[in-house]
Structure 1
């Protein structure tokens, strides 16, 4: 039984949350950064190796396996021709959905030798960064001030300023201080490490006592990943070529007729530049090879995978409707493909994470709706691209929809949305699928949306989804569902009560429902806590004072 409550067990009381030990370990490591036990450059060294897993997981990997050098999932090692040895204990990291997953260091595997990534020389890195600076129209005097030798670190620092929310570069003659310098120097360190150069010499960071944490760390990682991809131009030309290939094959496929039947006619398909991946194993690979792209680049982009036995690349997407996912500047970063109804396999398929495409950073439709969002349209977050297109068709004057494309809403995606829309004014509306998975997604999003000051709501589509309602009932029905939104706090609290309270017929069931409701309520931000206390009391038949006490206990378990 739970020591805090003699009626329910610890799982119901929330004292055995999955991943609690790992979160505690990450908090302790973060505290060591803040008190100076671990210098910020220590974290940068680890982030250069494991940064694709995020700030918190970088700390977890280093804490569990100090000498970790190359960490990947079990499946990723198999794809690389190596096998995790039997009996090896995984390195536990936090999954995007809040649970746990295991990864393994290369020292825990056997198999084919890994080919080293070719390191670029200083002059090549300078050329790549200079070319990017030219494309971004950075002033020549900022790229290479007079009488100075080429300095890739300084240029990477400047480019970090430019890419960070459209920040203007600072004059090299002026001091760069505060968090701007911390972030730009950290990004330059990671970019040079990724491009094969030694880190910039003489880095000296201010005390991280007040700023070291996941917010700053993940922002640095996202910016470094973006700058690296732009500098390498990895897959920018490749992705454009792949997009043209998919678009060229659209008319020969089932896709145009299927989409038209769902309410997405030819004009809509042209506007969203929908394509088709042929049902052939090597069609795209052969086309990209003919354009001069090497196999290594095609595989690294996620457009192809290597066969386990032959090692020959084969197309990742086959017989799918193809939707392009764009970065903030409009460049194609990746794709999501949809199978025809009734086909075997996952209905939607994302490409794997790459330097350019990181699923947790991007939102389908954000680039396409940026102007409407900037003018004050209410952002709507949905799961799939067809749902986003359906809402954008049904309510173009009032709402603008973006899709998470199969991943839980992340803080990085919310940051990207906040760079385009004023969320304190527009708020956010969730329109996830009306099923068990969709309701669970709303609970996870509720915690992520805690930082949003504007109104946070949820729209129900009566057991369907926006694309289904568009098909069955037309645009007016989609618009009506959007305007009939509920407070997201109401939805997640009611779902918690229904999930944990059973029939609410016994004191144990009511207490379990109460604890589940206040636990989920405490994860987010509600504009009217008193109203939620009254709602929970009415649903569970528990006195409002007891609900208030339980909520205070959940928020401050130590009584402070």
Structure 2
């Protein structure tokens, strides 16, 4: 037996009911939060239908058409009376609440606060809002971001938009302040018009949230697809040739993208994933005819995970001798920002927490080589990008050897035990990358060392050609990166140091570099510069004070 309140079915009568309920909002006999609660449940049906559904079935939570329920695997129970709403053309149509249907329970929508913040930050990023993805998550982080989005999209109704966004995420909505309806609406028509604007603005955000979630599901499905195809591909033999054991495929969850234009996209589409989600995940592109084609083809696939462990994208490595770029990354997107991610960080998290020394390398095979050769090290790869502060912050979140309050740039001070090791490729570009890395790592309050390999070599080559012992030996041959940075500055500014002018220029250049270092590095560098330039410590210290003062005034 239906519990719905009888409502005449004529379209004009339904319109009258909607106007009556809207007038109650205008006068305040129904609080605005009542409509927001209904809109959070039924807003996709529009303002008018939201109040109609609430008037007929106040306890309704999830209302859909019979066709939509069938698509969700549920059916309307026999004898149930429909909830009457108005279609866009003004005709009546019937919808049903989930309580009027039978079938498997729907998937729960509630997210943890951390996961909700991550999703909303990605959605905000995609909408052009500047977001600090590495900022700590506090009790008000989610609400503050929802309010920023609400203000960006509809300033006159910031809190109403924020309410609907938070409700969509499935998190409790904190008390918010809403202006009296009479303060912004002259009549019921103005209330209805504002309600529609609020719904549209909220849908901009919730649509992005849904797309982010759908794209993440595509990435997880793609990872399973790639992994299932790896054992029968050329990838296992390639790993073995590089000195990686038979467990590497499983240990690092390496996959294979078939040499086909539509193998993955066809699989994802047949599994029910939407084309726009596949594109948003960076797994496919559209051809001139609009059809999707796979981005990764005939490549070993390495998954890169974000701070929550979810897959953010992939690195595809071409087989030896094949035409095309050796490495292909997922395209930059709100989900995949290469400068914020480190390949292998989640996989070596346990090692780092147990005290292994972090090693920054360039590519995924370099990371696998170091991690295979030396359990005392935990290698992560920047995947061809320069080391960024965001990457270092991501590392410090899971590396317990650095502690204390954040310093400039959010990098923590104070350390015990070994610090960070940088192991670039052994060429001019690799050495230049190591020096650029120092600009970021200088503020880390721990030793920062570098391993400089022979010309043309990289960690993966050392393992393949000379074996694990040679790679462990290379790891043990590290030099302080601060030494290299200071020496490079001296060489650039002072040349051969033949004249007093050369030494003065070299001193100023070295002092400028030392001024940017964490305190743990300073004393050693003052002594080195004094010895190199044949100066007393007081002179070098005076130049350092001048450099620090100048940097402070410039800042």
- What's the TM-score once normalised by structure 2's chain length? 0.60
Separation of aligned partners in 1, 2:508 and 2:477: 29
State the match for 1:297 in structure 2: 277
Structure 1 CA distance for aligned equivalents of residues 362 and 397 of structure 2 = 20
- Post-superposition shift, 1:359? 1.9
Task: Provide the residue aligned with 2:480 in structure 1.
Answer: 487
User: Which residue, 402, 409, 413 being the options, matches 2:391?
Assistant: 413
Map of 1:373-412 to 2, 5 A cutoff? Answer: 373-396=352-375, 398-412=376-390
Task: Please identify the structure whose Cα radius of gyration is greater.
Answer: 2
1:271 to 251, 258, 262: 251
Answering whether residue 471 of structure 2 is matched by residue 478 of structure 1, we say yes
Q: Does 1:328 align with 2:307?
A: yes
Alignment partners' CA distance in 1, 2:317 and 2:492: 31
In 1, Cα distance between equivalents of 2:332 and 2:453: 31
Which one of the candidate residues 256, 259, 266 is aligned to 1:286?
Answer: 266
Q: 1:199 aligns with which of 157, 162, 172?
A: 162
> Distance between the aligned counterparts of 1:192 and 1:278, measured in 2?
44
Q: Deviations over 1:46-104 (max 9, x none)?
A: xxxxxxxxxxxxxxxxxxxxxxxxxxxxxxxxxxxxxxxxxxxxxxxxxxxxxxxxxxx
Alpha-carbon distance in 2 for matches of 1:123, 1:408: 46
**Equivalents in 2 of 1:372, 1:466: separation in Å?**
19
Which whole-Å CA distance do the structure 1 matches of 2:547 and 2:380 have between them? 33
Unaligned runs of 5+ residues in structure 1 are: 1-120, 129-154, 165-177, 204-224
Q: Does 1:250 align with 2:230?
A: yes
Using a 3 Å threshold, how does the CA distance of structure 1 residues 435 and 518 change in structure 2: closer, same or farther? farther
Change over 3 Å in CA distance of 1:346–1:506 after alignment to 2: farther
User: How big is each residue's C-alpha offset from its partner over 1:489-519, in whole Å with a ceiling of 9 and x where there is no partner?
Assistant: 1122223334454444455655554444333
**Contact conserved, 2:254 with 2:302, CA < 8 A, in 1?**
yes
Distance 2:497 2:323 in 1: 41
Does 1:235 pair with 2:215? yes
Q: 1:507 to 1:359 in 2, by over 3 A?
A: same
Contact (CA 8 Å) 1:381, 1:402: kept in 2 or not? yes
Contact kept? 2:239, 2:248, Cα under 8 Å: no
Shift of 1:558: 7.4
In the alignment, the residues of structure 1 paired with residue 216 and residue 151 of structure 2 have an alpha-carbon distance, to the nearest angstrom, of 21
Output the CA distance in 2 between the equivalents of 1:437 and 1:123. 56
- The answer as to whether partners of 1:234 and 1:356 remain within 8 angstroms in 2 is no
Q: Deviations over 1:169-213 (max 9, x none)?
A: xxxxxxxxx99355343233367789998235549xxxxxxxxxx
Q: Are the aligned partners of 2:445 and 2:519 in contact in 1 as well (CA < 8 Å)?
A: no
Partner of 2:427: 435
Residues 324 and 192 of structure 1: is their aligned pair in 2 closer, same or farther, counting only changes over 3 Å? farther
The count of aligned residue pairs is: 376
Aligned partners of 1:456 and 1:487 also within 8 Å: yes
Change (3 A) 1:476 1:405: same
Shift, 1:163, TM fit: 6.3
Contact 2:263 2:294 (8 Å CA) reproduced:
yes
Q: Matches of 2:42 and 2:514 in 1, distance apart?
A: 53
Shift in Å at residue 160 of structure 1? Answer: 4.3
**Paired residue for 1:460?**
452
Superposed CA RMSD: 3.6
Deviation at 1:323, TM superposition (A): 0.3
Q: 2:431 and 2:460 mapped to 1: Cα distance?
A: 18
The structural deviation recorded for 1:379 is 1.5
Structure 1 partner of 2:196: none
Bigger relative contact order (CA 8 A; separation at least 6): 1
Q: CA deviation at 1:274?
A: 1.2
Classify 1:504/1:124 alpha carbon distance in 2 versus 1 (closer, same or farther; 3 Å).
farther
